[in-house]
């Protein structure tokens, strides 16, 4: 007991740590945490520690300099946390054999160093060394390294960071004009860039066709089942084989949007990019023609719905004319449903025998529905990706 009192002070605890400026004023205006019971895991959770590590020691340096002076007995925990943090930060994929070995060696070395010459400077922790080596092993064997990296580093969510992590040489096109600019890619795909938007891309010699977007772009992708087309767009990632779609995602804006004109795409958050395929598929949002999804990075929520102006799904033989003569409302709605690829729900059986003449022509889908519903006294609402038609009668 005497040893503990001598080590920690009369009450067994050290006072909270403060940081003072040159004038002796607490720069944070409040007492900071008490670090007596901190272990390596706690440092990972500590905001100051993460800022310090992410900035390469540029931020919070004064705090940790004072910390080392006041808590010398925590130096081993702090060193181990730094070592693990740096090892995880270097990962660009789920660890392969060589990276696993490097992490293991780093952890083992720092633990061995911490056991030499420091036994009198810190409390005894049974199984200290083996517990942390086992923890590191579980991280590697369980494939959890990327989860930790995402939690403490954050996935690269900005265009500039995503481009810097690319493993191939990229070419960048920036649309500094006031008009839309078309970028032709090596595989025959094209991207219409809106003013102020940027696109980085390679020669597609790798197994995947990867591009990076900041701003707004309309993609017309050439089909190639052997090489998926992937768009990194800030907080979201879009994957396709061959299709037409629009992506809106600007650096500094937490909201992103993807809308599909033809084909099929899947969208998931950039933070899920390095999860195993099964986990990633569970989180993916699938879109078909005339569907869109909005992603809010603040809430990490996808909101799926219909595009503002649905277009006819591309089919052989050109666009439908939509001139109906003495045709049942049921048949008209089914034909519109097929032409636009949009699910329509209606339960009024009387609509089967209700026949109308309606030259709808090339009017937008929602205008067509306005005319039909006004004619039969019905209403319609959009719920997610479906259109629900209610009421109506055949008193014409």
C-alpha to C-alpha distances, 308 to 233, 236, 367, 384, nearest whole angstrom:
22, 21, 12, 12
- The residue extents of the domains of the chain are 2-152, 159-306, 323-391
231, 244 Cβ separation under 8 angstroms: no
299: CB partners within 8 A, 6+ apart: none
> 306-344 burial, b if ≥16 CB within 10 A, otherwise e?
bbeebbbbeeeeeebebebeeebbbebbeebeebbbbeb
Most confident of 23-32, 45-54, 120-129: 45-54
- Please determine, for residue 150, whether its predicted confidence score (pLDDT) is greater than 50: no
Q: Looking at residues 340-352, what average pLDDT do you find?
A: 82
Helices (H), 61-177: 61-70, 75-89, 97-114, 128-141, 145-152, 159-164
Q: What is the pLDDT of residues 244-289, one digit of tens each?
A: 999 999 888 889 999 999 899 999 888 766 554 555 566 789 999 9
159-306 folds as Jelly Rolls (2.60.120)
Q: 237, exposed or middle or buried, with CB in 10 Å at 0-12, 13-18, 19+? A: buried
Q: In angstroms, rounded to a whole number, what is the distance separating the alpha carbons of residues 15 and 31?
A: 9
162, 156 Cβ separation under 8 angstroms: yes
Q: What percent of the chain has pLDDT over 70?
A: 67
Q: What are phi and psi of 72, to 5 degrees?
A: -60, -25
What's the start-to-end Cα distance of the chain, in Å?
A: 96
Residue 159: both structure tokens together:
């265009």
Q: In angstroms, rounded to a whole number, what is the distance separating the alpha carbons of residues 284 and 27?
A: 45
323-391 folds as Phage tail protein beta-alpha-beta fold (3.55.50)
Which is more confidently placed, 81 or 374? 374
* pLDDT recorded at residue 230: 94
Q: Looking at residues 124-152, what average pLDDT do you find?
A: 44
* pLDDT recorded at residue 107: 53
């Amino acid at each position: 007991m005497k040893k503990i009192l001598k080590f920690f002070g009369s009450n067994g605890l050290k006072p909270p740590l403060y940081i003072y400026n040159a004038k002796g004023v607490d720069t944070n205006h409040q007492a900071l945490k008490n670090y007596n019971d901190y272990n390596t895991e706690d440092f990972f959770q500590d905001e100051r520690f993460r800022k310090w590590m992410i900035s390469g020691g540029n931020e919070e340096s004064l705090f940790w300099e004072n910390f080392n002076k006041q808590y010398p007995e925590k130096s081993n925990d702090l060193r181990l946390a730094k070592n693990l943090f740096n090892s995880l930060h270097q990962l660009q994929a789920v660890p392969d054999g060589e990276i696993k070995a490097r992490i293991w060696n780093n952890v083992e070395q720092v633990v061995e160093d911490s056991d030499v010459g420091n036994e009198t400077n810190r409390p005894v922790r049974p199984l200290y060394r083996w517990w942390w080596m086992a923890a590191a092993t579980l991280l590697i064997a369980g494939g959890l390294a990327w989860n930790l990296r995402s939690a403490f580093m954050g996935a690269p969510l900005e265009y500039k960071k995503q481009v810097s992590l690319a493993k191939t040489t990229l070419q960048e096109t920036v649309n500094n004009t006031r008009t839309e600019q078309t970028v032709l890619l090596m595989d025959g795909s094209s991207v219409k860039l809106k003013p102020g938007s940027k696109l980085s891309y390679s020669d597609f010699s790798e197994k995947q066709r990867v591009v990076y977007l900041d701003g707004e772009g309309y993609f017309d992708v050439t089909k190639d089942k052997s090489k998926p087309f992937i768009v990194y767009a800030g907080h979201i990632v879009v994957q396709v084989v061959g299709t037409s779609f629009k992506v809106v995602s600007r650096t500094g804006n937490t909201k992103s949007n993807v809308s599909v004109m033809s084909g099929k795409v899947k969208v998931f958050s950039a933070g899920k990019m390095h999860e195993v395929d099964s986990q990633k598929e569970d989180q993916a949002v699938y879109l078909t023609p005339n569907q869109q999804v909005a992603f809010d990075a603040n809430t990490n929520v996808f909101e799926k719905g219909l595009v503002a102006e649905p277009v006819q799904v591309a089919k052989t033989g050109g666009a439908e004319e939509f001139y109906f003569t003495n045709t049942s409302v049921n048949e008209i709605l089914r034909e519109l449903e097929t032409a636009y690829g949009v699910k329509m729900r209606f339960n009024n059986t009387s609509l089967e025998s209700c026949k109308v003449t309606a030259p709808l022509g090339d009017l937008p889908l929602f205008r067509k529905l306005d005319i039909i519903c006004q004619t039969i006294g019905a209403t319609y609402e959009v719920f997610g990706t479906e259109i629900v038609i209610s009421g109506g009668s055949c008193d014409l």
